[in-house]
Structures are given as C-alpha cells and as structure tokens.
Chain A
C-alpha cells in the first residue's frame, strides 16, 4: 500500500482509552513509566481455570464522562462507546469540529468485535431459545457497530469500513485510511478517522488463557527469555488522518507524518498462532521502507508489536533481524507490555512516539533471549546501536524509570515533559469536537517542551494466523 498521488498524509489527532484511563497524556505517562495498569478480571462466571491468568489491562470505570452522554450511549455496545469517545478525543486533538468531518471516512479495526453483546445474545439463543434473542443486542453485536456508531455520532458520511485481522488490524486500518486519502480518486475522503477498538470480557479472557496465549504473571515480558504470553487488554485508539495540503489550508498542526504503510502474510502460520515464515514478512517490510525512500538504517525507533507471546515475539525478532541484515537494530520499544494486547494501544503508542513522547523501559524485561537477539528499551541497555546524531537522545534516556515497573504510574507531573497532550479528559467540551476550537489548535501539543523526538518510527504488528502490518511515521 502506498500513495499513488504522492500526497503526503499526516496524523493530526489522537484519541485513546485503555487500561491507563482516557486521553493520550495518560497513555504517554504510562509508556514513559513503563508501567502496565492491570486489573483483576472478573472470574465469577466460572469460565476460568483455577490456575488461569487473572490480570488484564481493562478500561477503568468512568472514563467516558464528558465524551459520551448516557442517553446517547444507552444502546451502544462497550466497544462502540469506547470508539465514539476516542473519536471525539481525536477530533478535539486535531482541532476539528464534527461539521468538518461530514465527508470523512471511518476505518476501524477490531479483533473480536462487541463480545459482551455476542455472548449475551448467544446465551439467550442457546439457553432460553432463539425467540428470546434481543433485537437491540443483535444490532450492536456486529463487528462494524463501532465504526457505524462513530459515523452516526459525527455524521461522517464517507466510507465506513471495519477491518478484522487480529493483531495486525490497527496498523492495517491506518494504512487503509491513508490510502483512502492518498488515492486522490473521485469520491474519496479528504479526512479519515482510523483506529482500533476491542473489549476484553471474562469469556474471551478465559478462552485466550486456555489457548495458552496469556501470561499468568503480572507482566508480559516481551522479548524476554522467560516470556510466557501476553497481557490481554482493551480500549480504543483513533487517529485523524488528513492530507498535508488540507492541513496546511486549515492551519492546523500535525502529530506525525505517515510516510509509508504495508502488510504481508506468513503462510506457515497456524490459524491461531505464529509461524516461522519471517523471510516473506521481512521482504514485505523492506518493500514498505523502500516505498518511503528509506533504508533500515534510517529508522530511529521500532515500536514493536511484540507482546510476550513466545512464538509471536520470536517471529517479530526474526523479521527485524532479517530486515536489518546483521546490522544493529535501532532502539526497540514494546508498548504492548504496557497497554496490553488489543484495543489499539500499539497504534497510539507509535503516534505518540513519532510526536515525541518518550518511550520508557519494557516492563518485565530482565533476561535477554539469545534466540531472539533483541533487547527492548530498558535498564539492560536497550538497543545495541546508539541513536544517530548527537542532539538526539536515546529514548531510554528520556525516561530513567527504574525497573521493575511500579504497579501504578507516577503521579501526573504538570509542567514536566510528561505533560505531552492536549487531550486532558477533564474538559472535553460539548460532544468532543464541538467547542474544542482554538484549544485544540493551540500550542499545548504533544511533545511540548520535550527533547528532539525520533525522526522515523517504524511500527510493526504480527498477527496470530499469519498477517503482518507495518506503518512508518515521521516527525512532523
């Protein structure tokens, strides 16, 4: 996937909710601290095995306040609520009103769709009989409900697209959204809301655990020799994409440039796991970089989709090593150790990194896996390669937070470099985009008062089942 018209695409807004709460500033804090914010999963339904995983990165209660009125959301599924709230945050961050996205397209990825509604509906059908199926549950059980609810809430009448490609979905959504703008063809949108949403319900958590996908520890340990699975997560991340010329015309500012996007597939992967076909994935990733006119050595930071999955992290490492062909890797961040898997945390982290937010140490990483040969950001030295340019600090150096990570992030420090976002949830304004006005266009941007961010950020995500996706972001 690449731009045909050559029109540069920029990310101008970011909205996100997850285990860290709501807003990019809180996510940035958590990423800088290298601290996953986990909660106990409700095991009262009896779905879980006694020894199963107990923790997940779940959205704390009360995060929608100010973004979504109860009356508006009463028929929405949990993912729809998260998606609409994140979209409004993204619009506000971009300094756009709803009226300015009436022709916008919406591209949302979800791995599992509205699971709560699906579970309850299936219980009605299977236990009480099909005649008891609730129509209101059914209409919100479809995978495209979140994208549709975003479009309805914002009156966005461009394409409404839902992508289901598991872990690769969020980056695919970003690429598909960018292609919508970049094609420059008749009838295509000039602005796109792209992102991801997922909820982590006890049933899904229990099933993932039975598949052996989840760590039963408190931390996930990406790239670590002791890794045993990922932390399940939930949340939403939505970005606003625009053409650079469109942004210039309205006088906004960009969080990141979207330099390239691409995807590939590993046909050796089993349906619910990762394979050994790193060569084909590496070839696809190299082509993506080439389309952006970049060499691997131009990449300043890899925001990796490594999650702590044993096979997934091995494949991720093999792909990276194959692309860099024996040369030292740039610093590698593994934000899923903070955000959990699913819900778009990786996508949000990549945008934040390109915008200059510091990436902190990798929670739980302590013992390098010699088979992998990748050392993520952390006290063990992070990358074997120093960053280019004397004026560009190593991302690790920006956040000297000790490991092991604390169970909670440090208190919010207003006025320090951790204050990185215009997205405080405390004053969302009416309907998010509406009324955001000048505040959203103001100087309180991501990266304010920070050191020089990495110029080129590569985000990668390899899905169970075989798909892989990558996005290359640049400093605006």
Chain B
C-alpha cells in the first residue's frame, strides 16, 4: 500500500474513544457522569482498607468486569480487562471493529498493510493480582498460585489488547507514573504522523491496589473526602481506576473511509522538572515547558486555547505548581481560562489518568460543553482559577484544548486537541 507522505501536513484524527472508570463502563457513562458533576468517588470494596488512613476511591462497577474478554480471560488482570473493554469500545466507535475480530483465521488473513500499533500507559499493571499472590507467597511460598502472576507485568494491559486484537505492529507500554497515558498518546501521535502506523490504539489502564493506596497515604497525599482540586481546603488526591483508549489515524484516511472524527490530536509535549522525586517544581517551569512544547508541536499560540483539562490532583503542592505553570504559559489569561478538573469526579487513575482525561477533553470539545465539578468549600485565593463548577459550561465555539499530566519524578506531559470542524 502506498503510504501518505508523512510530512507536517499529516494531521491525526481521534475517531473513537472508550472508557471504564468509577462512573461506569463505556464512554457514554463517563460523559453522563462528568456532565452531572457528581463524583464517582465513595466507599470501595476492591481490598480491605479498614487499616488504611483513608477509605474512599472511584472503583469501577464490577458487574461488567468480564465484558469484551474472550478465551483466556480468566487469567487476565483487572487492569487487562479494563483495557480490553475500552479498546473494543473505541474501535467500535471508530468503525474499525470489523478489522479486529477476535478470530485467529481472520487475523491471519487480514490485510497486513494495515499497520496498527498499541501505545499504552500504566503505572502498576496487574499489581493488584500480584499483591494477592504475594500475600499467599509470604504465608506459604510453595502453595502460592503462579497463575495469578501470569498477567502481572506493567505491560500486560497493552499486551492484552494487542494479543486480543491480533495487532502485529509496535506495542509499547509507558510507565512514567501519572504521565504514562499522556506520554503514550504522544508516542502514538508521532507514530501516526511519521507513517509508522496507520492506526494507533492508545490509552492506559490501572486498577486499585494496596501498594499505591498505602504509598500515597504514607505521603499524606490522599484526601479523606473526595478530592477538591484548586479549592482552599484541598488535602490530597482521591484514587480511581479504569482504562481509556483513543483510536488515532491520519485525518485523511479517516475521512476517506467515511469516519467522523471526534477531534484532532494536534500536538504533544513533555518535559521533566529534574527537581524532586515527589514534589513538583514550585515555579511550574517544568510543567509550563511541557505545555509550551505541546502548543509548539501543534503550531498554535496560547491565545487560541479555549480551555484546559488540568492535572488537578487536589494536593496542595501540585495544584499550586500547576497554577504557576498556567500563568507562565497563558499569562494574564490564566485566571480567565476555563479549567476542567476531571479527577474530582473519577479520582486519579495514575498511569491511565492522562488517557482518560484526554477522552474527557475530546468529549468536551465534541459536545461543545465543559463538564463541571462540585463546589466543595471555598476557592483558594492563592489560586484564582476559573474552574468549571456545579453546571456544565456551554462552549460551542471551543476549538482548542490542552490536557496536562504532571507525574511523580517530575515527568510532565501535555496534549493539544482541536475540535473537528469538518474541514480537513
């Protein structure tokens, strides 16, 4: 197959999205929940948290945990199952599901020129299952069931997607903590632009587990109530779990096959604070550099950005640093720019957060409406941001949005999405 010249003009469309999170299974459940502004954060049952410091999380409903999972699913981790569901949903919306039937004969006969890659982010992969194994192992090493470790690797969710869908192109898992999902999308963008792949299945997946729950509690970074990004009383994050997948392909290809793009992934940028393992650079310089790089990559000026889906964990230091970064990039507009704080509703999905917040950003652009968060307590006078509160904000003219991911270890990533206006 003759490939399109991978030049600057190769724009990349988002043609499908899929999601699982505490608000439910499916992108529609995500969008409905986001529009409501009601947090999906509450009591959870994944593990016994009675001895942990806090007791809330946005846990995915269990009822459909096996949906979309075929033979061999018994050994898949929860994170794998989330990933598979989201990938199948996204491909379905993209109109590409017929190309990815779970059928070995079909796979073998498929047009090999459709080069497909999987780019995934995960912080801990199947560590929940590893914890179960390790608990048994510590009690009786010889009796612990190895089968629970089969899909334990951080790369397991991305691999599971590729395996189930018969992907033969690049499969890469990024594990840069909370920036993983956004970095995966950035890599996927570059792969589609360069012509390395024709379709990228990009996203992330993580499940609740004791290690991160206890670890962040040990850092005193978890709020005892649902997290309150940018509010005066904020005291930390809330955990979430789930998966999100975006299908990326060249805009020209999508239009040629009659697909309706949801948005255009216009740019990606990343940076490192090089400051501290857990604390963000308080000047926001690193985060600003990532956003600036993404805007430059997209070829758009800060002035045209209509809203930002902020990382907004709700930790005092992180939100303060992000505010500094916003000021560095957007100057006097920083306080007026509508901010969307998705984590307030679905919690922090760690390695998947960048991916599911990318889905939220795409949906906001697509619907011309920004989802709200609940007005929890007073605004922080030190962070005079324009958070979308209580009610969705109609913004039908919104053309350009930024989504930020700021991680442990100072790894920062930003994505720029453009509304699909029907003009190539």
**B292 contacts partner chain A, Cβ-Cβ < 8 Å:** yes
Residues from chain A with Cβ under 8 Å of B76 in the complex? 271
**B214 contacts partner chain A, Cβ-Cβ < 8 Å:** yes
Out of B141, B187, B271, B409, which one reaches A142, CB within 8 Å?
A: B409
**B208 contacts partner chain A, Cβ-Cβ < 8 Å:** no
Known contacts A1-B191, A130-B51, A141-B211; A152 and B162 CB within 8 A of each other: no
Give residues of chain B (187-217) contacting chain A, Cβ–Cβ below 8 Å: 187, 190-191, 193-194, 196, 210-211, 213-217
**Would you call A148 and B163 a contact (CB within 8 A)?**
no
Q: How far does the Cβ of A179 sit from chain B's closest Cβ, in whole Å?
A: 6
Residue of A nearest to B142 (CB): A49
Residue of A nearest to B293 (CB): A187
Out of A130, A144, A161, A186, which one reaches B293, CB within 8 Å?
A: A186
**Would you call A138 and B215 a contact (CB within 8 A)?**
yes
Residues from chain A with Cβ under 8 Å of B7 in the complex? 4
A160 to B272, alpha carbons, bound, how many Å? 6
Residue of A nearest to B116 (CB): A265
**Would you call B167 and A162 a contact (CB within 8 A)?**
no
**A277 contacts partner chain B, Cβ-Cβ < 8 Å:** yes
**A408 contacts partner chain B, Cβ-Cβ < 8 Å:** no
Give residues of chain A (91-113) contacting chain B, Cβ–Cβ below 8 Å: 105-106, 110-111, 113
Number of interface residues of B (CB under 8 A): 88
Q: Give the interface segment out of B242-250, B257-265, B275-283.
A: B275-283
Residues from chain B with Cβ under 8 Å of A46 in the complex? 141
**B181 contacts partner chain A, Cβ-Cβ < 8 Å:** no
**Would you call B194 and A1 a contact (CB within 8 A)?**
yes
Known contacts A2-B194, A172-B172, A176-B172; A159 and B297 CB within 8 A of each other: no
**A149 contacts partner chain B, Cβ-Cβ < 8 Å:** yes
A158 to B53, alpha carbons, bound, how many Å? 36
Give residues of chain B (92-145) contacting chain A, Cβ–Cβ below 8 Å: 107, 112, 118, 122-123, 125, 131, 134-135, 137-138, 141-142
Residues from chain A with Cβ under 8 Å of B213 in the complex? 130
Q: Give the interface segment out of A116-124, A230-238, A426-434, A445-453.
A: A116-124
**Would you call A143 and B151 a contact (CB within 8 A)?**
no
**Would you call B277 and A145 a contact (CB within 8 A)?**
yes
**Would you call A162 and B176 a contact (CB within 8 A)?**
yes
Known contacts A179-B190, A271-B159, A465-B156; A145 and B170 CB within 8 A of each other: no
Out of B123, B156, B180, which one reaches A271, CB within 8 Å?
A: B156
A258 to B141, alpha carbons, bound, how many Å? 45
Residues from chain A with Cβ under 8 Å of B177 in the complex? 142-144
**A190 contacts partner chain B, Cβ-Cβ < 8 Å:** no
**Would you call A156 and B214 a contact (CB within 8 A)?**
no
A135 to B168, alpha carbons, bound, how many Å? 40
Residue of A nearest to B193 (CB): A4
Residues from chain B with Cβ under 8 Å of A118 in the complex? 211
A1 to B125, alpha carbons, bound, how many Å? 25
Known contacts A129-B51, A144-B175, A163-B175; A265 and B218 CB within 8 A of each other: no
Known contacts A122-B131, A133-B215, A166-B153; A152 and B277 CB within 8 A of each other: yes
Give residues of chain B (352-407) contacting chain A, Cβ–Cβ below 8 Å: 407
**B166 contacts partner chain A, Cβ-Cβ < 8 Å:** yes
**Would you call A131 and B270 a contact (CB within 8 A)?**
no
**B344 contacts partner chain A, Cβ-Cβ < 8 Å:** no
**Would you call A135 and B218 a contact (CB within 8 A)?**
yes
Known contacts A133-B214, A164-B175, A272-B150; A158 and B271 CB within 8 A of each other: yes
**Would you call B168 and A277 a contact (CB within 8 A)?**
yes
**Would you call A187 and B176 a contact (CB within 8 A)?**
no
**Would you call A152 and B275 a contact (CB within 8 A)?**
yes
A140 to B160, alpha carbons, bound, how many Å? 27
**Would you call A267 and B168 a contact (CB within 8 A)?**
yes
**A295 contacts partner chain B, Cβ-Cβ < 8 Å:** no
Known contacts A118-B211, A144-B411, A148-B277; A131 and B176 CB within 8 A of each other: no
**Would you call A151 and B274 a contact (CB within 8 A)?**
yes
Give residues of chain A (254-270) contacting chain B, Cβ–Cβ below 8 Å: 262-267, 269-270
Q: How far does the Cβ of A425 sit from chain B's closest Cβ, in whole Å?
A: 25
Residue of B nearest to A108 (CB): B176
**Would you call B171 and A165 a contact (CB within 8 A)?**
yes
**Would you call B187 and A151 a contact (CB within 8 A)?**
no
Residue of B nearest to A122 (CB): B134
Residues from chain B with Cβ under 8 Å of A161 in the complex? 174, 176, 183, 270, 411
A165 to B175, alpha carbons, bound, how many Å? 10
Residues from chain B with Cβ under 8 Å of A401 in the complex? none
**B269 contacts partner chain A, Cβ-Cβ < 8 Å:** yes
A211 to B150, alpha carbons, bound, how many Å? 9
**A147 contacts partner chain B, Cβ-Cβ < 8 Å:** yes
A135 to B276, alpha carbons, bound, how many Å? 14
Known contacts A158-B272, A161-B176; A139 and B219 CB within 8 A of each other: yes
Out of A131, A165, A264, A269, which one reaches B53, CB within 8 Å?
A: A131
A55 to B404, alpha carbons, bound, how many Å? 45
When each residue 287-303 of chain B gets 1 if its CB lies under 8 Å from chain A and 0 otherwise, what string results? 00100111011000000
When each residue 36-67 of chain B gets 1 if its CB lies under 8 Å from chain A and 0 otherwise, what string results? 00000000000001011100000000000000
Residue of B nearest to A211 (CB): B146
Known contacts A157-B274, A265-B167, A284-B168; A466 and B162 CB within 8 A of each other: yes
**Would you call B272 and A126 a contact (CB within 8 A)?**
no
**Would you call B277 and A149 a contact (CB within 8 A)?**
yes
**B6 contacts partner chain A, Cβ-Cβ < 8 Å:** yes
When each residue 38-58 of chain A gets 1 if its CB lies under 8 Å from chain B and 0 otherwise, what string results? 000000001101000000000
Out of A49, A111, A160, A267, which one reaches B167, CB within 8 Å?
A: A267
**Would you call B272 and A185 a contact (CB within 8 A)?**
no
Q: How far does the Cβ of A159 sit from chain B's closest Cβ, in whole Å?
A: 4
Known contacts A211-B146, A271-B150; A465 and B159 CB within 8 A of each other: yes
**A183 contacts partner chain B, Cβ-Cβ < 8 Å:** yes
A211 to B133, alpha carbons, bound, how many Å? 14
**A403 contacts partner chain B, Cβ-Cβ < 8 Å:** no
**A390 contacts partner chain B, Cβ-Cβ < 8 Å:** no
A366 to B183, alpha carbons, bound, how many Å? 45
Known contacts A131-B52, A151-B410, A465-B159; A141 and B215 CB within 8 A of each other: yes
Known contacts A133-B214, A284-B169; A139 and B187 CB within 8 A of each other: no
**A210 contacts partner chain B, Cβ-Cβ < 8 Å:** yes
Known contacts A144-B175, A466-B159; A187 and B269 CB within 8 A of each other: yes
**Would you call B272 and A106 a contact (CB within 8 A)?**
yes
Residues from chain B with Cβ under 8 Å of A63 in the complex? none
Residues from chain B with Cβ under 8 Å of A263 in the complex? 169-172
**A155 contacts partner chain B, Cβ-Cβ < 8 Å:** yes
**A71 contacts partner chain B, Cβ-Cβ < 8 Å:** no
**B324 contacts partner chain A, Cβ-Cβ < 8 Å:** no
Which of B163, B167, B183, B296 has the most chain A CB atoms closer than 10 A to its own CB? B163
**Would you call A155 and B174 a contact (CB within 8 A)?**
no
Given A47-B137, A141-B215, A264-B170, output 5 extra A-B contacts at Cβ < 8 Å.
A159-B271, A187-B292, A265-B168, A271-B76, A283-B112
Which 5 A-B residue pairings sit nearest by Cβ, starting from the closest?
A148-B409, A187-B293, A138-B215, A186-B296, A280-B168
20 contacts between A and B (CB under 8 A): A4-B6, A122-B210, A126-B138, A135-B215, A138-B218, A142-B123, A142-B409, A148-B272, A154-B274, A158-B270, A160-B270, A160-B271, A160-B272, A161-B174, A183-B194, A187-B294, A271-B150, A272-B151, A283-B168, A465-B153
